[in-house]
Amino acid sequence: MLELRQILELSSSNVVYISAICVIGLIMVLVPLTAQAHLSEIETVSLKTTIGDAAYSATYNVAVTCTDTILAYGLNLFVPHNDPSDHYVIDGGSIRLGTTTLAHASYTTEKEHMSVNLLGRHDGMKYPLLIPQYSPLIIPISVTDSEPGLPAKATLDITYEGNPDTTCRTSEIRGPQNIGLMVRMSLERGMDRIVAANMAVSDYNQYLESIGEQWRLELVVKDSGLKADEALESIQEFTDEDIRLIVGPSSSGSISAIREHIHHNDMLVISCCSTAPSLSLPDHIFRITPDDTNQAKALARIMVDDGIISVVVAYRDDPYGQGLYRALAVEMEKRGSVVAAGVPYPTDTTNFDDVAQSLADEIDGISNAAIVAISSSEVASLIESAMKHDILDDVKWYGSEAVVNHRDVAHGDMGAFSEKVALSGAIVAAPSSPLRNDLEPRLVAELGLQPGEAPSTFLYSMYDAILILGKAILSTQSTDTERLVEAIPYVAAHTHGVFPDRLDENGDLAITNYGIWEVRDAAWVRTGTFVQDTDVIVPYLP
């Protein structure tokens, strides 16, 4: 297994242009050209922190974070003893700037205290240490004590130059940090997403251990249900349990249901899979997938290239279905084709005979026509009902991204129908990357997929959501909602996840390409890629 540390360290460097490489004491410092702009006068602040007492031994991380990039000229740490048995040590090479370990000597207790000038000079003022906004300085202090006592009150004096409004603080995160996970547990794909989330948490916790962090992520899973009131009930339970960092829910309907609660209770949500354009808003909700105006472009291009002039759309009557239906109508019209009719259905529909009959009535007599299913897991029931109408297997079918890679529609009688109508669709393309290449076989094995079956792209989005949230906590050394909301766009852009996780101004995954999939030989097969920048489809070469 490729270690997550190797992946994350690809994105840990905040230094692009270097004007100087200096050695301060034994600490190597990289100073970017951009660090010299917009600086205030040099000032000194005293930061207080607590170093816990140890029954025998323990390590405490003193983390320095600032609201903007600073140049530190002096870092003077003073830790007093509470009793003669107190002993403090900073091991050589243990101090980190972000995830980068710095070269330095070891420091240890002197008589009744530990006093260390971490930059190696008492006058400072010559060789600054750059502390970027989202790369905290981590100082691990090992404590040994044969006699139980009180925590020590340490002081860190920082002399620095930075933006006049910049403030710095010390902090330390310890122990389990609960994050909520909301999925539809009654659906197979919901359970699959729990697998991906647990894999991400396990990998990230191993990474945290490898760099010496004293905290870990811990998932608390709740069912988002199939109805809005169920999602609202789950988010209220998280609030009651003081869990304010949430991954999920996956559906746009559930996101819409909890959005007001999120806003009023200072919570943060990262959704792997919500795509409704109506939720593209600057708020505390981030989505690791593009909104459906992008998917509509991909679907329209596929159909127009296939010679389709008119389409009849069956769609979920919820924010997801309504939003994609409207966006698809716009994109088809741009390309000289039309959405001839729409057949909405309630999200709790279980019998699709009436929907199938409406599709048959609408498609009758239309030339160069196709059916589009903007559906979720219920697409299997829709196809079962459609199989009763001869006219519905005489036209091509297309599906939204929630239909792509749905296992049931590729097998048995439904699979035969899907192949006859050349059922195809578009879903965000997970690009080849070291992390994706590592995850895919692990997900295939964990989910028990059959040969030729690929994990849903949304499982990679789920993994990235956990990765980004974990890295935001690490970068800010905080679980404060406002600090994380501010940090996540920057952190996402500098995280080498499965996707290039650059977010747009509304916190959604920015423009990306879409994979084209079709049911062939009882399996979903990748056939092409919609390149959004050029509005063309190119053949897929594995």
- pTM score of the predicted model: 0.85
pLDDT over 60 (residue 15): no
CATH number of the structural domain spanning residue 8: 2.60.120
Residues 249 and 298 in one domain: no
CATH number of the domain residue 490 falls in? 3.40.50.2300
The answer to whether residues 385 and 350 touch, using CB atoms and an 8 Å cutoff, is no
Which pLDDT does position 6 carry in this prediction?
Answer: 46
- Structure tokens of 405? 């890679």
Do 422 and 337 share a domain, yes or no? yes
State whether 329 and 201 are in the same domain.
Answer: no
Looking at residue 36, its pLDDT comes to 42
**Residue 325 covered by a domain:** yes
Residues 35 and 164 in one domain: yes
- Secondary structure of 96-137 as H, E, C letters: EECCEECCCCCEECECCEEEEECCCCCCCCCCCEEECCCCCE
Name the average pLDDT for the chain.
Answer: 87
Question: 448 lies in a domain?
Answer: no
CA 522 – CA 464 distance, rounded (Å): 30
Instruction: Report strand pairing: 245-247 vs 268-271.
Output: parallel
User: Hey, what's the torsion of the CAs at 397, 401, 402, 407, to 10 degrees?
Assistant: 70
* pLDDT exceeds cutoff 50 at 20: no
Domain containing residue 240: 175-291+456-507
Q: How far apart are the first and last CA of the chain?
A: 21
Give me the number of domains the chain comprises: 3
Q: What are phi and psi of 438, to 5 degrees?
A: -80, -40
Looking at residue 405, its amino acid is N
- Between residues 162 and 221, which one has the greater pLDDT? 221
Q: Among residues 150, 171, 192, which one ends one of the domains?
A: 171
26 pLDDT band, cuts 50/70/90, is: very low
What pLDDT score does 86 carry?
79
309 and 321 co-located in one domain: yes
Q: Are residues 486 and 525 in the same domain?
A: no
Q: Which residues pair with 170 in a beta bridge?
A: 64
Model confidence over 72-127: pLDDT tens digits? 888 888 888 777 777 888 998 899 898 888 888 888 887 778 888 887 554 433 56
- Is the distance from CB of 118 to CB of 25 less than 8 angstroms? yes
Q: What is the pLDDT of residue 152?
A: 77
Query: Under the phi-then-psi rule, with left for phi > 0, alpha for psi from -120 to 50, and beta for the rest, what region is 168?
Result: beta
User: Domain end: 116, 141, 171, which one?
Assistant: 171
Judge contact between 217 and 204, C-beta under 8 A.
yes
Give the amino acid at 514. Y
Closest of 80, 84, 85 to residue 146, by C-alpha = 85
104 and 45 assigned to the same domain:
yes
Residue 439, domain member (yes or no)? no
445, part of any domain: no
Nearest to 339 by CA among 325, 329, 326: 329
Range with lowest mean pLDDT among 28-32, 236-240, 443-447, 453-457: 28-32
Under DSSP, the state recorded for 394 is S
User: Residues 418-426: what's their mean pLDDT?
Assistant: 97
pLDDT of residue 21: 31
User: What is the chain's length?
Assistant: 542
| pLDDT score for 99 | 83
Residues in Cβ contact with 487 at an 8 Å cutoff, skipping those fewer than 6 apart:
134, 472, 475, 476
Q: Is 55 part of any domain?
A: yes
With a cut of 70, say whether residue 34 has pLDDT above it: no
Q: Is it the case that residue 301 has pLDDT exceeding 90?
A: yes
Domain stop point among 171, 197, 223: 171
Confidence of residue 460 (pLDDT cuts 50, 70, 90): very high
| Under 8 Å between Cβ of 303 and 370 | yes
Domain presence at residue 485: yes
In a domain, 446, yes or no: no
Contact between residue 502 and residue 510 where contact means Cβ atoms under 8 Å apart:
yes
Looking at the fold, whether 165 and 180 belong to one and the same domain comes out as: no
**Residue 166 and residue 180 share a domain:** no
Residue 4's identity, in one-letter code, is: L
pLDDT at position 30 over 70:
no
Band of pLDDT at residue 149, cut at 50, 70 and 90: low
Say if residue 157 is in the same domain as residue 219: no
Q: Quick check: 149 and 143 in contact, CB under 8 A?
A: no
pLDDT at residue 120, as a whole number:
58
For the stretch 304-336, pLDDT in tens is: 999 999 999 999 999 999 999 999 999 999 999
**Residue 542: pLDDT band by 50, 70, 90 thresholds?**
confident
Asked if the structure places residue 401 within a domain, the reply is yes
Per the CB < 8 A criterion, the answer to whether 106 and 159 are in contact is no
Task: Please tell me the distance from the alpha carbon of residue 427 to that of residue 300, in angstroms, as a whole number.
Answer: 13
Separation between Cα atoms, residue 66 and residue 487, nearest integer Å: 12
Residue with tokens 């009131």: 229
- Tokens 């320095």: give the residue: 64
The answer on 145 and 212 residing in a single domain is no
Residues 461 and 372 in one domain: no
pLDDT value at residue 32:
39
